[in-house]
Amino acid sequence: MTKPILPGEVAAAVVDPVAYGTWDGLHQQLAWARANAPLAVAENPDHDPFWLVTRHADVMAIGRDPQRFANAVRPTVLTNRDGEALARAATPGNDGHLIRSLVQMDAPDHMKYRLLTQSWFMPKNLKQVEDRIRQIARETVDKLLATGGECDFARDVAAHYPLHVVMDILGVPPEDEPRMLMLTQQLFGSTDPDLNRSREAITSAEQAIAMLHYVIADFENYFRELTADRRANPRQDIATVIANATIDGGQIPDRELAGYYMIIATAGHDTTSASTAGAIMELAKNPALFERFRAADSDKAGLIEEAIRWTTPVQHFMRTARADVEIGGQQIREGDWLMLNYVSANRDEAVFGDAFAFDPDRAKNQQIAFGFGAHVCLGQHLARMEMRIMMEELLPRLKKLELAGEPARVESVFVGGLKRLPIRFEAA
Ligand code: HEM
């Protein structure tokens, strides 16, 4: 069976940060792929070829089969050829993972590490932190209202709230949050000249790796001190759980320890802030929807689920085939690299009626923004809870909400969403 090859413009769009920033054109390319070549190879000059997986059903099938579709073998986030070679040269055992967190692990390590904190992130346990999160949400809303009627919701509000929550839960004190925010944006938004460390366009893989090394070293130094402190003075936070956990009877090795903190510290805020800002953008555009959801007793669940589908903050993850396997009618070979494109899967017309409409009343919203299978987002219940609490605290305190300018999206192939959302509002 010969491999289907994607047209050059589709292949180019899915690796282009600017396409994710402009968004509409990217959706046209992805819709074409879903209809004509849902599982086909993207060939680009700077990247190794990879299968672009655009259908919801295929993303699910791959997620549910971690034995054959692995995370540890090759980069889990799209990396160009030079970048992967440099990362391999710069990592222990040439494994190419600058960070070794849950995301870069396969069985048996993955589940051992995941189980250390999994119960902490379950809804039952999260009830214990609900009051604290509500307090953070109220303080955030107070600050928003104090801006006097106009602000950039993405920058001034959404960027801070999930960060406060995740740092509070992790055990990072408020005075260190700006450093964490900057480092996360540098880690994830490193292709966006507005967000990366040098504030310049990154033009070479060497530059990108050098910048990431700085960012990771900063994180590691910080968490080394936190670990020492929590081993000496345990508290009720996740840092204490991680610092004192044992794996196979010993302490967690330094690299995995830093990776664990980093994934919790970073995975939870740009993502949740993107979907929170996405919800506010749609409410600001649609007065009837805003009126409905600002009623204190309105059920916010549908709004939240749809905002997560609509924004799809994590735009892709990569997998590598460990064996020959047939999927979606295509023959995948051992060693092949695959891009699970969540942006596409969340607009799949076969699953979502009127996929390009924002509809909080979808009967059964099967959004796949949190992934699927063994690696499904550890923080998904926390993310939903944070968004619900923010909507409950914010919307009833507003009388009017509208856009005050053009929103802008992050230029990144990995974690995306709004970097600018100018709004105008009146307090209730
Ligand atoms: C709307 C917000 C969020 C979105 C869209 C999101 C999305 C994702 C996705 C797509 C994955 C990979 C799933 C896969 O490979 O199948 C993931 C993994 C993960 N997420 Fe989230 N996430 C969000 C919020 C959070 C929060 C609040 C936390 C916790 C602080 C968190 C922690 C994690 C962790 C630790 C993993 C790695 C799990 C593993 O590999 O076993 N995420 N997330």
pLDDT value at position 330? 97
Of 54, 56, 52, 55, whose CA–CA distance to 5 is shortest?
52
pLDDT value at position 78? 95
Which numbered atom of ligand 1 lies nearest the CA of 311?
5
C-alpha distance from residue 35 to each of 31, 112, 329 (Å): 6, 40, 14
Say which residue the tokens 């305190």 belong to.
397
C-alpha distance from residue 413 to each of 12, 192, 234, 273 (Å): 12, 10, 39, 17
Cβ of residue 158 lying under 6 Å from some atom of ligand 1: no
pLDDT value at position 386? 98
Cβ of residue 417 lying under 6 Å from some atom of ligand 1: no
pLDDT value at position 377? 98
From atom 9 of ligand 1, which residue's Cα is the shortest distance away?
A: 370
Cβ of residue 102 lying under 6 Å from some atom of ligand 1: yes
Pocket test for ligand 1, best of 161, 377, 381, 410 (most atoms within 8 A of CB): 377
C-alpha distance from residue 309 to each of 342, 345, 409 (Å): 9, 9, 16
Q: Which residues contact 243 (CB under 8 A, 6 or more apart)?
A: 226, 227, 230, 231, 257
pLDDT value at position 87? 81
From atom 18 of ligand 1, which residue's Cα is the shortest distance away?
A: 377
Q: How far apart are CA 362 and CA 351, in angstroms?
A: 11
Q: Which residues contact 51 (CB under 8 A, 6 or more apart)?
A: 39, 40, 41, 42, 330, 332, 336, 337, 338, 339
pLDDT value at position 99? 86
Are 389 and 137 a contacting pair, CB within 8 Å? Answer: yes
Tens-level pLDDT at each residue, the chain (428 residues): 689 999 999 999 999 999 999 999 999 999 999 999 999 999 999 999 999 999 999 999 999 999 999 999 999 999 999 888 888 877 878 888 888 999 999 999 999 999 999 999 999 999 999 999 999 999 999 999 999 999 999 999 998 899 999 999 999 998 998 888 788 777 765 556 665 545 555 567 777 777 778 888 888 889 999 999 999 999 989 999 999 999 999 999 988 998 999 899 889 888 999 999 999 999 999 999 999 999 999 999 999 999 999 999 999 999 999 999 999 999 999 999 999 999 999 999 999 999 999 999 999 999 999 999 999 999 999 999 999 999 999 999 999 999 999 999 999 999 999 999 999 999 99
pLDDT value at position 337? 98
CA angle (348, 351, 353) in 5-degree steps = 90
pLDDT value at position 190? 53
Reported pTM: 0.94
pLDDT value at position 159? 87
Cβ of residue 379 lying under 6 Å from some atom of ligand 1: yes
